[in-house]
Amino acid sequence: MRAAPASRPSSIGSTREPKLVNALVYAAGLLVIVGVAAAIAWPLLRPVAARAPRSAGDPERYRWEKEKELAYAAIKEADFDLQMGKLSVEDHAAIRGKYEERALAALAALERCG
């Protein structure tokens, strides 16, 4: 009486499985890359009309907003220059006072605008 031959795994199915898995991994990776690229590029690629215009509305209010932002930036720069030793304390006080007045005037005008 002879023993039944040992069963061997079929070589036909085993060669297709790694190829299928590799293809799925590449496809998943490609989808992730495309998704990330689309998310990063979307703000640059959307239509101009969809972008929120900064100057929309009252031009007077926009002007005062810009004045306030510029005054804040000048104050910040003067503080930094003082820390770096580029400005004396007296010069810093004069510059800071000038731009604080501008910022306060802009804030008051913005309150009047509503």
pLDDT in single tens digits along all 114 residues of the chain:
565 555 555 555 555 678 888 989 999 999 999 999 999 988 888 776 655 555 557 889 999 999 999 999 999 999 999 999 999 999 999 999 999 999 999 999 999 987
- Based on the domain organization, do 62 and 105 belong to the same domain? yes
**Which pLDDT score, from 0 to 100, does residue 114 have?**
74
Residue 47: predicted pLDDT: 74
Q: Which of 27, 38, 103 is nearest to 65 (CA)?
A: 103
- Residue 108 sits in which domain range? 55-113
Q: What is the pLDDT of residue 62?
A: 92
Query: How many distinct structural domains can be found in the chain?
Result: 2
* 65 and 106 share one domain: yes
Residue 100 and residue 98: Cα distance in Å, rounded? 6
Residues 60 and 109 placed together within one structural domain of the fold: yes
The answer to whether residue 2 sits within a structural domain is no
pLDDT score of 89: 95
Cβ–Cβ under 8 Å, residues 65 and 74? no
**H-only helix segments in the chain:** 11-45, 59-84, 89-113
Same domain, 95 and 68: yes
Of the candidates 57, 54, 59, 71, the one whose C-alpha atom is nearest the C-alpha of residue 106 is: 71
Considering the domain architecture, whether residues 42 and 68 belong to the same structural domain is answered as: no
Is residue 4 situated within a structural domain? no
pLDDT for the residue numbered 42: 86
Which candidate, 71, 77, 67, places its Cα nearest to that of 110?
67
Does the pTM surpass 0.75? The reply is no
Structural domain contains residue 74:
yes
pLDDT of residue 44: 84
Are 39 and 68 in the same domain?
A: no
